[in-house]
């Protein structure tokens, strides 16, 4: 039987603490035994608030298992940084995709879906569908 390669997840926030906390939450809600590679890429290289192309590229390389990498972001310049990396074409692993999704709910949906062995399209769709979660 062929080994199932999981989709990797990168969580890009302007804050290292926020990115790490969302990664921890998503991993925890995916359950014990979920083997989804998740990496936070928060803040700048010197620990400040902002985004770092280098940290994002390192995180994407760390979670890449050959099944694609879903990147979720928090705010505007994080999106722009990921788009710039994608446009460069050689900074992120092949099959890396910026996912339009709410940061926290989308991250949880992405990690839970990836833990089932779903492909990148299904992981991205689940994360994006998190926009429709109603809280009333």
Nearest one of 20, 41, 7 to 109, comparing CA atoms: 7
Among the listed residues 7, 12, 14, 19, the single catalytic one is: 14
Long-range contacts of 84-88 (CB under 8 A, 24+ apart): 84/53, 85/53, 85/56, 85/57
Is there a catalytic annotation at residue 67? no
Q: Torsion angle of alpha carbons 75, 84, 37, 69, nearest 10°?
A: 110
Catalytic residues: 14
């Amino acid at each position: 039987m062929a080994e199932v390669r999981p989709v990797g997840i990168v969580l890009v926030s302007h804050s290292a603490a926020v990115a790490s906390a969302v990664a921890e939450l998503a991993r925890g809600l995916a359950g014990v035994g979920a083997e989804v590679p998740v990496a936070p890429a928060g803040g700048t290289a010197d620990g400040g608030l902002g985004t770092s192309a280098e940290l994002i590229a390192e995180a994407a390389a760390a979670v890449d298992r050959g099944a694609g990498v879903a990147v979720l972001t928090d705010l505007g310049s994080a999106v722009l940084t990921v788009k710039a990396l994608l446009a460069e074409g050689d900074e992120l692993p092949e099959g890396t995709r910026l996912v339009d999704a709410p940061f926290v709910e989308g991250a949880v949906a992405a990690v839970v879906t990836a833990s089932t062995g779903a492909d990148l399209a299904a992981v991205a769709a689940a994360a994006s569908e998190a926009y429709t979660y109603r809280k009333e």
